[in-house]
Amino acid sequence: MTTVTICASLKFAKEIEEAKQTLEKKFCIVHTPITSFTKEDIAKFSEEELQKLHDVHYAKIEQSDYILVVNVNGYIGCDTLREIFYAIEHKIPVRYISSEFVFSNEIQPIALRQTLRTFLECNDTGRKIKEEAKPADSISPERIKIIFDYIHELKDKLKEI
């Protein structure tokens, strides 16, 4: 039986539910983001509570055969990007509902620094990207797309790592 974790912005709750139902009809075990909290609830979380929220979702990712990124109209937000890198780091395949990538304006270099550092140090592919990359302070959504394109060109190599 296949286990899938859906990763997406909570603003796509309807699409997350549709993807979940589609996968369940294929007899998959489906993990979704925690939708019990509103954006306002999450804004009030302490750093510790926020980390627990992320840890729960990361644990779901670790149990999965692959993650499905529900990137409606290509949109990928900051947390979803972290989840994608987390899956890659743990050698879990990543699939997308859209082949387009439109990164959120909220993705800032500081927010990405830790995520990118983890990925860039985890394997040869990441080290190659790091050698070619500009300093972290200059990482833009366009640069992230280049990294994504590079990762997907080398996905067979990532499976071997």
Those residues whose C-beta lies under 8 Å from the C-beta of residue 149, and which sit 6 or more positions away, are none
C-alpha span between 142 and 114 (Å, rounded): 18
Structural domain for 27, as ranges: 3-160
Cα-based angle 58, 103, 45 (whole degrees, multiple of 5): 45
C-alpha span between 103 and 77 (Å, rounded): 6
The string of pLDDT tens digits covering residues 77-135 is: 878 888 988 888 888 998 988 766 665 555 544 444 545 554 555 445 455 545 555 44
Indicate the number of domains in the chain. 1
DSSP category for residue 106: T
Is 119 in contact with 85 (CB distance < 8 Å)? yes
pLDDT at position 160: 47
Q: Is 138 exposed, middle or buried (0-12, 13-18, 19+ CB in 10 A)?
A: exposed
| Pairing mode of beta strands 29-31, 75-76 | unpaired
Those residues whose C-beta lies under 8 Å from the C-beta of residue 17, and which sit 6 or more positions away, are 32
C-alpha span between 36 and 23 (Å, rounded): 21
Q: In terms of pTM, does the model score above 0.85?
A: no
The string of pLDDT tens digits covering residues 36-84 is: 787 788 889 898 998 898 899 999 999 999 999 998 888 888 788 889 8
CATH number, domain with residue 110: 3.40.50
